[in-house]
Chain A
Amino acid sequence: MKEQNKIREQFPILNQKINGYNLVYFDNGATSQKPLSVIESISDYYKNSNSNIHRGVHTLSRKATELFEQARKTLAQHFNVNNDQQLIFTAGTTDSINMVAQGLAKNYLQTGDEIILSTYEHHSNILPWQLWAEANGGKLKVIPLLEDQTIDYAAIPALISAKTKLIAITHVSNTLGLITDLEKIKTIAQKNNIPILVDGAQSAPHMPIDLQKLNVDFFVCSAHKMYGPTGIGLLYLSEKWLKELSTSKPGGGTIKTVTFEKTEYAEGALRFEPGTPNISGAIGFAAAIDFMNSVGTQTIFDHEHELVQYAQKKMSEIPEVIIYGKSDHKAGVISFNIKEQHPFDVGTLLDKYGIAVRTGHHCTQPLMHCLNVQGTVRISFAIYNTKEEIDIFIEKLVKVIKMLN
């Protein structure tokens, strides 16, 4: 409890009233709040070190470059990556996936090729592939879900053909919180020599991630869901793809030499980071990683897991509640509906009680079709959430159900 208070003290935004009620922030799947250390790292940078990086000879530029590259090192250490050049700063998960899709389209994907996705992908991990497929006669093949909304791993081998060029799959479903068993996916993929892209937007904030151990081709995530600032994220490339992935965004900073006839590109991460990067974002991202490690990623996972178990149990006692993807093996997300009520109404009334939840399709419309619902209400946790907040949520949810009936 005392530890919990110490953590909450680092998030001043939590200490406010909404419509006269204490804010209960359960929309962490959309974006997490930021600790003071992250906020201060960004303002410190602008107060003391702001300058453009990599090319300057002056002291400030060196200082800024060092901070930026130190941020990459902090991330490399956190994700256990030996060569920090394998970590590319992007604008976020969506940007990262688009970079991979556009890069692969240039020199890897051929007309008629196939890409395997799961039913519970976020639109961000569908649209870039769909765009490629539409323009190139490609095909998306979709792994179905079982009755309990988990991935039907047994159905994957039948989806694979000689034309399968990639499996792009989410690590944790943003809507259901279910954790994908990547080992099972890897076994099938490696047997068929198919690269894997893992969308870690909802796993990186909630659990330890060891990219050496994970050993996939591409891993992407966003800082703002990990206590960091918006507008910055990560693209991890395996050693092979660091050399072979085409760059889709050429620009200043990505080159060795340029003539009008030909350009020789830089090696490593710089090849993928055109223009002046989001320097303060990278520094804030590193501060967020430091915050996560000061608590411990395993501690974060355990705490949120406990909250999910506690909330699922309490919610199951309310007869009107339908939980989707109810499982013990999930990260800090619960999606539910109230029988015969629209999620929008439930979310609107919870907000009046100061409880921030998300309602709608959560950018997973194919999953909504599969569940046969218009949308759901989603609560998602972070390290600063408490059982007391869940008690408040349950009490108010019961009131909301009464109001709507």
Chain B
Amino acid sequence: MTINEIEKEIIEEFEIFGDDWEGKYEHLIDIGKSLPLIKEEFKTEDRIIKGCQSRVWLNSELKDGKVVYTADADAIITKGMVALMVRVLSGHKAEEIVKADLKFVDTIGLKEHLSPTRANGLVSMINKMKMDALSFSR
């Protein structure tokens, strides 16, 4: 699936909740809980993306010309968001990742988590994902 197709899939998945924010967040929390994201040995100090409050770990690798991400976070809502980003971006070519606008976050009504005041490290994580992809494409 392309990045766009995965985004569409996630939008459909969240659409059923409509205005029910509680349902939406419960789903996000479930997504966060259900994914073992990163190998323990990768949860090192140099892989931490420091937000003000919750911490995110990211590992990027190049496999068969595709960028593969694994990640984790200590707060479960952040982890749910991280899982969505990994699902959308991991396993694609570097140039596709760099171009991704990630508009689905806005569409599913979770844009507030990408606001700089949220201090959760997500914006920094997306930047890091793209920077890593860029470095692989060189």
Give the B-binding residues of A (Cβ under 8 A): 19, 341-345, 348-349, 352, 359-360, 374-375, 399, 403-404
Q: A342-B75, A344-B75 are in contact. List 6 more A-B contacts (CB 8 A).
A: A341-B76, A342-B54, A344-B54, A352-B21, A360-B119, A404-B76
Tell me, yes or no, whether B78 is within 8 Å of chain A by CB: yes
Q: Please judge, given known A-B contacts A360-B52, A375-B53, A403-B26, whether A345 and B76 are in contact too, CB under 8 Å.
A: yes
Task: Please state if A344 and B53 are interface contacts (CB–CB under 8 Å).
Answer: yes
- Choose one: B22, B29, B53, B74; the contact of A359 (CB below 8 Å): B53
Cβ proximity bits B42-67 to A, threshold 8 Å, 1 near / 0 not: 00000000001110000000000000
Task: Please state if A344 and B78 are interface contacts (CB–CB under 8 Å).
Answer: yes
Kindly state the separation between the CA atoms of A352 and B25 in the bound complex, as whole angstroms.
Answer: 10
Residues of A within 8 A of B26 (CB): 403
Kindly state the separation between the CA atoms of A352 and B76 in the bound complex, as whole angstroms.
Answer: 15
Task: Please state if B76 and A360 are interface contacts (CB–CB under 8 Å).
Answer: no
Q: Which residue of A lies closest to B120 (CB)?
A: A344
Question: How many A-B residue contacts, CB cutoff 8 Å?
Answer: 38
Tell me, yes or no, whether B84 is within 8 Å of chain A by CB: no
Interface size class of B (residues with CB under 8 A): 10 to 19
Chain A interface helix/strand/loop/mixed = helix
Residues of B within 8 A of A403 (CB): 22, 25-26, 29
Kindly state the separation between the CA atoms of A349 and B53 in the bound complex, as whole angstroms.
Answer: 15
Kindly state the separation between the CA atoms of A359 and B76 in the bound complex, as whole angstroms.
Answer: 15
Kindly state the separation between the CA atoms of A375 and B21 in the bound complex, as whole angstroms.
Answer: 26
- Choose one: A343, A349, A359; the contact of B25 (CB below 8 Å): A349
Tell me, yes or no, whether B133 is within 8 Å of chain A by CB: no
Kindly state the separation between the CA atoms of A348 and B53 in the bound complex, as whole angstroms.
Answer: 12
B63 CB to nearest A CB, Å: 31
Q: Which 5 A-B pairs have the closest CB atoms?
A: A342-B75, A344-B75, A344-B54, A344-B53, A360-B53
A-B contact pairs, 11 of them (CB 8 A): A342-B74, A342-B75, A344-B53, A344-B54, A345-B75, A345-B76, A348-B77, A360-B52, A374-B74, A403-B22, A403-B26
Residues of B within 8 A of A375 (CB): 53
Residues of A within 8 A of B52 (CB): 360
Q: Which of B97-135 contact A (CB under 8 A)?
A: 119-120
B47 CB to nearest A CB, Å: 17
Residues of B within 8 A of A344 (CB): 53-54, 75, 77-78, 120
